Chains A and B, each alone.
Chain A
Amino acid sequence: MAQGLVHRGRGGAEAGLGVTLSPTLLLDVVVGGFTTGGIYALVALGLNLQYGLMRVLNVAHGEFLMLGAYVTFSLHTGWGVNPLLTLLITGPTAFAVGLVLHRLLYAPLLAGGAAESLESRSLLLSFGLMFVLQNAALLVWSADLRGYSYLAIPLRWLGTVFPANRVLAATIALALGGAFYLYLRYSLTGKAVRALMQEPEGAQLMGIQTSRIHGLCFGAGIAMSAVTGSLVSMLFELTPFMGLPYTVTALVVVILGGLGNMLGCLLAGLLLGLVETAGVYLASSDIRLISSYAVLSLILVLKPSGLFGR
């Protein structure tokens, strides 16, 4: 068994775990962490936007990722649309769906209740939504595994190889996440969003339209989830039940990064990806979940407001 833990043939000094550390291994871990973390960051950003702003814990967040993935799969395999181009379809469509959902379901539900009951109400609603969406996908696409190959080619760099599609997906995810962060930071709407997060009453007094901003943010959150789904569909097989693990990971990232903190969320996503990948390379694939929850527990004990929280 101990033999199984040794990372072979990479030359260099033996590290404590019986692992041979070398520049190539380091590169493997960093790039691997980046490709996993980029996806985590984008899906978590969407959840953070909803939870940080409205205290709506959308358990169905991952279901929109699943739907985005299926739409891309169908467009690509059915009509030969390039998976990257489908982002232009899944993103705006999901945004519109988010606006409608907010208007029809969440806004009436959240209007005029005591602050404490908002979270539990929205939780119940999104649980219901999760089951509806899962079963709808089951009816449309059935439980069969679905998938396709896109850019499944090796990318050679500095003496080691990486899957081209993963690097591409993570780069796009991070670019979108970064662009959104800059938008929040410098645009007027972005400033309004941040004002609402920091001081809801004060922001309203300054004339910021809460309901409009809420709707936009809900839509944007769902759009990010769906776009992540489009990217994920290039990498993994799809099932109607693939969403929930992403919701859980997104929640971990949001807590790590600090509630409502977008930059923290991006960095925490990358960090989680890095920690998981390092665990996989240095010890075993089996400790992937253990390492991510260990980080979460550590943060909750040492800094409950999150790594980058105030």
Chain B
Amino acid sequence: MSMRRRQFLTAAAGAATVPLLRTRARAQAKPIRVGYTMSATGPYAVGAGITQVPNYTLWQEQVNTKGGLAVKGEGRRMIEFVTIDDRSEIETAVRFYEKLATDDKVDLLLPPWGSAMNFAIAPVAGKYGYPMIGPTAISGKFKELALPYFYTMLVQPAPQMQAVAALLRDLRDQGKIKKVAVAYVNDLFGIELNAATGPAFKAAGLEVVDTKSYPLGAKDLSPVLRGFKDAGADAFVGLTYPPDNILVTSQAKEVDWNPAVFFTGVGTAFPFYRDRFKGAEGVMGIAGWNPKVKFAGAKEYFDAHVKKHQKEPDRWASAFAYASLQILERCVGEVGLDRPKIKTMLDATEFQTVAGPIKFTKGENVTTPGIVGQWQKNEFELVWPKASSTGAAVVPKPAWA
């Protein structure tokens, strides 16, 4: 009797706790808080608004539509962003990342936009043990510092410039170009790429007739371009940032210079660039991706991006920004929100993403090769390396539109 009574009580208590447990389970599935700062104002706002923000918000929307991010052992939890405008000020970003880690105690951190910004916050990631995958950071210094929790998605300066050198050597051997001229922006990005350019071009036996630097925010690059033109350069390599990228392109036309190869840096892969220069037919630049690549989900990603934002993703880092989130999603799905475990998985796994297979070695994506793109009939065709190209390089480039 007493036994049965106890059994009854247990059963009753059990029955009573079922709804309780369920409400608690629901309450426990509170959102995953993901923190980051983004430059909504200031000089970095242009790049951030094109390459990074649209991918963060697209991913958040897609995941939340599915009911949230699958966390190992917990089911799905909605994603909530904790974010602020860092006004393109590095110290503001660093302070806010410190706050996100110590005060808000967010579950995950996403990186801000740009090499200099990522460089500044990467140590914060290490200090508090937050794995961060930087989609818009390009600097050889990341490798030197060997920051344990920071990962870079983009091809870094040396392999990128080696790819450019290989393409130019190929063109020289075909007799299509002879003399190369290099201009670079005096900012971390330009300085590092230029430093990688020297050895790469030397190894390729290219004749560099002139190398010039100019400051960020330059307003007139025609003296530089005219110097190159007079020196008889027929291949221009500009290691540029978005505003001066546009400037150097429009001024090349204005000083009547149309070299066989016109290669520029950050911004060339933006659809904005193509539209600004009536197709920008024949202009080459650093590339990473286009919707023609054969990787799973690439086309779907392109379409979803266009649908949500009414604009195309850029042809360099956008897909890598999205891919960094795919990687994070897979890690959380397999090991949960335990950050050291996420790091272990990041170090050991090859990930399949919309930007292709990605494997990190000492925090650097070593799978993606250095890629050169060229605007051809409204698509940024990947023309180098030949093995994974989507089109053949057109040299000499057609006249300016």
List residues of chain A with CB under 8 Å of any chain B CB: 3-4, 7-10, 28, 32, 35-36, 134-135, 138, 142-145, 147-149, 152-154, 156, 160-166, 236-237, 239-241, 245, 277, 280-281, 284-286, 288-289
Sampled A-B contacts (26; CB under 8 Å): A3-B210, A4-B213, A8-B210, A28-B223, A32-B222, A32-B223, A35-B220, A36-B219, A143-B40, A143-B48, A144-B49, A145-B46, A145-B267, A154-B255, A154-B256, A156-B256, A161-B254, A163-B254, A239-B45, A240-B41, A245-B217, A281-B223, A284-B212, A286-B213, A286-B215, A289-B215
Cβ A285 vs Cβ B230 within 8 A: no
Contact of B256 among A143, A161, A280, A281 (CB under 8 A): A161
Cβ B219 vs Cβ A236 within 8 A: yes
Q: For the complex, what is the distance from the CA of A4 to the CA of B181, rounded to whole Å?
A: 10
Q: Which of B186, B222, B255 has the most CB of A within 10 A?
A: B222
Cβ B41 vs Cβ A164 within 8 A: no
B145 to chain A, nearest CB (A): 27
Q: For the complex, what is the distance from the CA of A145 to the CA of B268, rounded to whole Å?
A: 13
Q: For the complex, what is the distance from the CA of A84 to the CA of B32, rounded to whole Å?
A: 53
Residue of B nearest to A138 (CB): B41
Q: Is B66 an interface residue (CB 8 A)?
A: no
Cβ B214 vs Cβ A286 within 8 A: yes
Q: For the complex, what is the distance from the CA of A35 to the CA of B220, rounded to whole Å?
A: 10
Contacts A144-B49, A145-B46, A245-B217 given; does A163 touch B210 at CB 8 Å: no
Q: For the complex, what is the distance from the CA of A286 to the CA of B190, rounded to whole Å?
A: 13
Contact of B222 among A10, A153, A163, A284 (CB under 8 A): A163
Q: For the complex, what is the distance from the CA of A185 to the CA of B128, rounded to whole Å?
A: 67
Cβ B255 vs Cβ A138 within 8 A: no
Contacts A284-B213, A285-B212 given; does A145 touch B242 at CB 8 Å: yes
Q: Is B246 an interface residue (CB 8 A)?
A: yes
Residue of A nearest to B253 (CB): A152
A56 to chain B, nearest CB (A): 25
Q: Is B71 an interface residue (CB 8 A)?
A: no
Q: For the complex, what is the distance from the CA of A184 to the CA of B243, rounded to whole Å?
A: 38
List residues of chain B with CB under 8 Å of any chain A CB: 40-43, 45-46, 48-50, 186, 210-215, 217-224, 226-227, 230-232, 242-243, 246-247, 250-251, 253-256, 267, 272, 276-277
Cβ B246 vs Cβ A145 within 8 A: yes
Q: Which of A153, A162, A164, A284 has the most CB of B within 10 A?
A: A284
B255 to chain A, nearest CB (A): 5
Cβ A143 vs Cβ B49 within 8 A: yes
Q: For the complex, what is the distance from the CA of A97 to the CA of B296, rounded to whole Å?
A: 55
The 8 closest A-B pairs by CB, nearest first: A285-B214, A143-B45, A163-B254, A9-B230, A154-B256, A8-B231, A143-B49, A237-B246
Residue of A nearest to B44 (CB): A143
Q: For the complex, what is the distance from the CA of A4 to the CA of B182, rounded to whole Å?
A: 10
Give the tally of cross-chain contacts (CB within 8 A).
115
Q: For the complex, what is the distance from the CA of A152 to the CA of B256, rounded to whole Å?
A: 10
Q: For the complex, what is the distance from the CA of A3 to the CA of B250, rounded to whole Å?
A: 26
Residue of B nearest to A232 (CB): B219
11 other A-B residue contacts (CB within 8 Å) besides A149-B250, A280-B220: A28-B223, A32-B222, A138-B41, A145-B267, A148-B276, A149-B276, A153-B254, A163-B255, A239-B46, A285-B212, A285-B223
Q: For the complex, what is the distance from the CA of A162 to the CA of B223, rounded to whole Å?
A: 10
Q: For the complex, what is the distance from the CA of A288 to the CA of B186, rounded to whole Å?
A: 13
Q: For the complex, what is the distance from the CA of A36 to the CA of B219, rounded to whole Å?
A: 9
Residues from chain A with Cβ under 8 Å of B246 in the complex:
145, 147, 237
Residue of A nearest to B211 (CB): A4
Residues from chain A with Cβ under 8 Å of B250 in the complex:
149, 152
Cβ B40 vs Cβ A138 within 8 A: yes
Q: For the complex, what is the distance from the CA of A35 to the CA of B251, rounded to whole Å?
A: 14
Cβ B219 vs Cβ A28 within 8 A: no
Q: For the complex, what is the distance from the CA of A106 to the CA of B256, rounded to whole Å?
A: 48
Residues from chain A with Cβ under 8 Å of B224 in the complex:
285
Cβ A144 vs Cβ B210 within 8 A: no
B293 to chain A, nearest CB (A): 25
Cβ B247 vs Cβ A237 within 8 A: yes
Cβ A277 vs Cβ B40 within 8 A: no
A26 to chain B, nearest CB (A): 13
Q: For the complex, what is the distance from the CA of A120 to the CA of B210, rounded to whole Å?
A: 49
Q: For the complex, what is the distance from the CA of A143 to the CA of B212, rounded to whole Å?
A: 29
Q: For the complex, what is the distance from the CA of A139 to the CA of B94, rounded to whole Å?
A: 26
Q: For the complex, what is the distance from the CA of A245 to the CA of B216, rounded to whole Å?
A: 12
Cβ B272 vs Cβ A144 within 8 A: yes
Residues from chain B with Cβ under 8 Å of A162 in the complex:
254
Cβ B42 vs Cβ A241 within 8 A: yes
Cβ A154 vs Cβ B254 within 8 A: yes
Cβ A28 vs Cβ B226 within 8 A: yes
A262 to chain B, nearest CB (A): 24
Cβ B272 vs Cβ A280 within 8 A: no
A108 to chain B, nearest CB (A): 30
Contacts A145-B46, A240-B41, A285-B224 given; does A8 touch B219 at CB 8 Å: no
Residues from chain B with Cβ under 8 Å of A164 in the complex:
254
Residue of A nearest to B222 (CB): A163
Q: For the complex, what is the distance from the CA of A69 to the CA of B19, rounded to whole Å?
A: 63
Residue of A nearest to B400 (CB): A152
Cβ A152 vs Cβ B254 within 8 A: yes
Q: For the complex, what is the distance from the CA of A286 to the CA of B215, rounded to whole Å?
A: 5
Q: For the complex, what is the distance from the CA of A4 to the CA of B220, rounded to whole Å?
A: 18
Contacts A7-B227, A134-B41, A153-B254 given; does A142 touch B49 at CB 8 Å: yes
Residue of B nearest to A282 (CB): B223
Residues from chain B with Cβ under 8 Å of A149 in the complex:
250, 276-277
B277 to chain A, nearest CB (A): 8
Q: For the complex, what is the distance from the CA of A239 to the CA of B49, rounded to whole Å?
A: 12
Cβ B41 vs Cβ A241 within 8 A: yes
Residues from chain B with Cβ under 8 Å of A143 in the complex:
40-41, 45-46, 48-49
Q: For the complex, what is the distance from the CA of A152 to the CA of B267, rounded to whole Å?
A: 20
Residue of A nearest to B224 (CB): A285
Cβ A286 vs Cβ B230 within 8 A: no
Cβ B215 vs Cβ A4 within 8 A: no
Residues from chain A with Cβ under 8 Å of B267 in the complex:
145
Residues from chain B with Cβ under 8 Å of A134 in the complex:
41
